[in-house]
Amino acid sequence: MTDISYVRKEMAPSQPAPASTVGPVAWARKNLFASIPDTILTLVSLWLIWLLVPPLIEFAFVNAVWSGENREACIGQDGACWAYVKAYLPQFIYGRYPDPERWRVNLTFLLFFGGLIPMMIPSVPFKRENVIYMLVVFPTVALVLLTGGNMDFNGFLLPDTVIAPSMLKFWVDYAILTAIVMAAAAGIAKASQSRAAPAAISVLVIFGVLAAIMVVLEIDFGLRPVPTELWGGLLVTLVIAVTGIAVSLPLGVALALGRRSKMPIVRLVSIIFIEFWRGVPLITVLFMSSVMLPLFVPENLTIDKLLRALIGVALFAAAYMAEVIRGGLQAIPKGQYEGAQALGLTYWQMMYHIILPQALKLVIPGIVNTFIGLFKDTTLVLIIGLFDLLGQVQSSFTDPNWSSPYQSHTGYLFAATIFWIFCFGMSRYSVWTERRLDTGHKKR
Amino acid sequence: MAIQETARTPDKASVLNDPKVRGWIYQIVVVALIVWFGWEIITNTAENLKARNIAGGFGFLNINAGFGITQSLITYSELSSYGRALVVGLLNTLLVAGLGVFFATIFGFLIGVARLSNNWLISRIATVYVEVLRNIPLLLQIFFWYFAVLRAVPNPRDSIALPGDVFLNNRGLFTPRVIFEEGSGLIGWSVLAAIVVWIGIYFWARRRQEATGQQFPVFLSGLGLLIVLPILAWLVTGMPLSLETPELRGFNFVGGTRIIPEFVGLLLALSAYTAAFIAEIVRAGIMAVSHGQTEAAHALGLRNGPTLRLVIIPQALRVIIPPLTSQYLNLTKNSSLAVAIAYPDLVSVGGTVLNQTGQAVEVIGIWMAVYLSISVLTSMFMNWYNSHIALVER
């Protein structure tokens, strides 16, 4: 018997994985050619890609015409006519906005993205100031910049015989209105045994901010007024989309809360409002706002065409938003409501501090989907004669200067790319936010 | 020490702090606002209509329309009334919406399943399809199909000939038409009979399977019946069917059925666009069924096909049906975009009527009523179906 034994001191070096399980060949065998039907599918997909992708690249890049003065450059070429897009680019962005005034649009875009980008990056400080800027300062400045400001306000309260309609009358009326609302707020506060002063002061602050905005709007900055008929292109698309988003979110929250309210009449009104707008197509809403809205208001009041479309789009989007938010409200466990009430919070405190933050976080994907839908739906305004980006592209086809066989393909490709970038960007941002806000309570 | 017991007495609290009283005050304010708002609108509208010399009411529906419609499922001429024109528009809307729902569902299911495929290439193609199509406005897609594709095809003289005597040119899609000659009624009845027998077989087979466990190929036998019976009827009655193929005469095609390019473009765009959304719904639905279900089905010895058909899909449908319903409704509402390419749907025809008569309130009222009814009917049907397949919790 020999006492030789051998005990290994270190781990045996690990063998490389079998050649059939690693590397591109194994990957292809697993993911592309796993079985005979799989192989057939792969070949069919390859054929599809071969059918679509090379011609598209050839059309958009290889055979494309990049520069030229008019249609001569593009005729006879078998590719996209980018020269036409280049020539029409200012129209696609500004519409018929007068040339020397276009810096105002550019400045508005700059101010918008300058406020939006820091707001979208979570690590940038001053979020509260940023929100105030986006919701109060920017809209005012943008309105002045885009329309030219210098608006006229006429009175609305006192009969014309007391003071002739003028700027003075407006401010007198406004002061009276402020006083009435302040008195009402103070009275209600007093009757319900809380202090009257804070209620009156908060009313005064709100009216003061509104007054400041209106003062800015009526100052003559010497900007040439640009009527909205001249607006067009991406400008109109963004104006409608951004206003629609900004109006529909708070309105949607209000409607969703109304629909879940315990007050029967409020609930009924909310349900009817939501279901009505959700049941009809946006086109009929736009027709209604463009044809019927002028009938609804007194004859001497004319509402701007763009504003009419804005009202229609915002109400329409608000109904969809309300349903999305209601889904979030329903997903919050009852214990959260009961806990908040047990702490003695009022209804609004409970909603603002406890329920809405959780509910809105839950439905971020739905909210962003509504935004994306709204952004895509802005194209419909071309049917009622407004020229958004697609409307401008469509109307440019009538220009004989640039008419060529592939003009429409090029125009649609350009518009589709722009819309796609915006929508896809929004959806990616929502996925990212969802992941960032995920506190791990979700069921996996 | 005297304890102050009078510090809190309930009767001192203001009535305004009672939630019930507050609730009623809020509601009264809401009602007052709505009534005031409605009153303002009604009086203003009445005044404005009077100022424009437009008489209200639906009397205009009986007046001669005087305009032609390029596609109508019922007889319609320029001498028909506005009311009939609107009915033609409604039928066209229903036609394009119905076919759109059909195609979008098929494409959507295919693409949704393809996104979950183990085949890398197929799932990537499906992903690209979904991400591209759903992020581009529908109107742009309609314009693309109509103006860039269907309007750009050659004129009738150089039509693109598709297999089966189908021709595509800028006047539309021309397909052969089946002409029913005398005695062809039996064929229709035989189709009906085949369907009835199919349903009968379905119930009989289900009862037999419950009783004995034996399966019966219901689908194949039913399909066989549906093919064999009409052919038999066709032979027995002496082949009364004939095909009328479209022929080029002069500058246009004569004979056959002409499908107008507006319809083809709208249908293509609606189906392709909605399919992208349905694909996402289907994917989410299938992913919502836990993997354990598949494993359990495999452990019971079910093959891939029956696993999908008998275990996964029935459970996935519960998740799929509610959002699918809203997609169907979206498609129906989106079909109103037809007005942009002048496909004569309800909105497009209604727009013409509105322009000719100036009866804005009535026409828009009809639109809203029709679309609201379609919405309500569809969601009622889908709710019924949903409750039919919903999980019965014990």
Asked whether residue B363 is domain-assigned, the answer is: no
**Could you give the CA distance from residue B92 to residue B69 in angstroms, rounded to a whole number?**
11
A25–B contact, CB cutoff 8 A: no
User: Is B347:B336 a contact under the CB 8 Å cutoff?
Assistant: yes
**Could you give the CA distance from residue B383 to residue B325 in angstroms, rounded to a whole number?**
9
Which residue of chain A comes nearest to B114, CA vs CA? A41
**Could you give the CA distance from residue A395 to residue A413 in angstroms, rounded to a whole number?**
15
Residue contact B31–A265, C-beta within 8 A: yes
Residue B211, domain extent: 183-244
User: Is B214:B281 a contact under the CB 8 Å cutoff?
Assistant: no
Residue contact A295–B48, C-beta within 8 A: yes
Mean pLDDT, rounded, for A117-122: 88
Which residues does chain B have within 8 Å of residue A281's beta carbon, measured at their own beta carbons?
333-334, 336, 347, 371
- Burial string for B203-223 (b: 16+ CB within 10 Å, else e) reads eebeeeeeeeeeeeebeeebe
Which long-range CB contacts under 8 A does B376-384 form with residues at least 24 apart? B376/A279, B378/B325, B378/B328, B378/B329, B378/B332, B379/B325, B379/B329, B382/B321, B382/B322, B382/B324, B382/B325, B382/B328, B383/B325
CA distance A408 to chain B (A): 6
| Residue among B14, B119, B371 minimizing CB distance to A41 | B119
Which residue of chain B comes nearest to A346, CA vs CA? B19
B286-326, pLDDT tens digit by residue?
A: 888 888 999 999 999 998 888 888 898 888 888 888 888 88
A interface mutation test: which of B25, B27, B274, B280 has the most A CBs within 10 A? B27
Which residues does chain B have within 8 Å of residue A56's beta carbon, measured at their own beta carbons?
none
Query: For a pLDDT cut of 70, what percent of chain A falls above it?
Result: 96
Residue scoring higher pLDDT (B36 or A302): B36
Asked whether residue B318 is domain-assigned, the answer is: no
**Could you give the CA distance from residue A213 to residue A142 in angstroms, rounded to a whole number?**
12
CA distance A265 to chain B (A): 6
| pLDDT higher than threshold 50 for residue A443 | no
User: Is A158:A173 a contact under the CB 8 Å cutoff?
Assistant: yes
Mean pLDDT, rounded, for A15-43: 85
Output the pLDDT for position A235.
93
Show the tokens assigned to B343: 């496909």
Output the pLDDT for position B346.
92
Asked whether residue B240 is domain-assigned, the answer is: yes
DSSP string, A332-370: S-HHHHHHHHHTT--HHHIIIIIIHHHHHHHTHHHHHHH
CA distance A376 to chain B (A): 5
Hey, which of A76-80, A144-148, A250-254, B206-210 has the most confident mean pLDDT?
Answer: A250-254
DSSP A220: -
B231-246, pLDDT tens digit by residue?
A: 888 888 777 777 777 7
A380-406, pLDDT tens digit by residue?
A: 999 888 899 999 999 998 888 888 888
User: Is A291:B353 a contact under the CB 8 Å cutoff?
Assistant: no
Asked whether residue B284 is domain-assigned, the answer is: no
CA distance A276 to chain B (A): 7
CA distance B243 to chain A (A): 34
Mean pLDDT, rounded, for A283-289: 90
- Burial string for A2-22 (b: 16+ CB within 10 Å, else e) reads eeeeeeeeeeeeeeeeeeeee
DSSP A223: P
Which residues does chain B have within 8 Å of residue A296's beta carbon, measured at their own beta carbons?
40-41, 44-45
Which residue of chain A comes nearest to B331, CA vs CA? A281
Question: To which H or E segment does residue B179 belong?
Answer: strand B177-180
Residue contact A412–B354, C-beta within 8 A: no
**Could you give the CA distance from residue A101 to residue A226 in angstroms, rounded to a whole number?**
9
Residue contact B368–A280, C-beta within 8 A: yes
- Total domains in chain B come to 1
Report CA-CA distances (Å) from B310 to B58, B200, B313, B314, B335: 53, 21, 7, 7, 35
Residue scoring higher pLDDT (B27 or B242): B27
Show the tokens assigned to B327: 């997609």
Residue with tokens 């495999």: B298
Asked whether residue B188 is domain-assigned, the answer is: yes
CA distance B65 to chain A (A): 21
| pLDDT higher than threshold 80 for residue A225 | yes
Sign, Cα dihedral of A299, A304, A309, A313? negative
Which residues does chain B have within 8 Å of residue A383's beta carbon, measured at their own beta carbons?
337, 339-340
Residue scoring higher pLDDT (A78 or A342): A342
Show the tokens assigned to A3: 């006492």
Closest CA to B371 of B323, B331, B328, B333: B333
Asked whether residue B201 is domain-assigned, the answer is: yes
Asked whether residue B207 is domain-assigned, the answer is: yes
Asked whether residue B214 is domain-assigned, the answer is: yes
**What ipTM describes this predicted complex?**
0.86
Residue contact A409–B148, C-beta within 8 A: yes
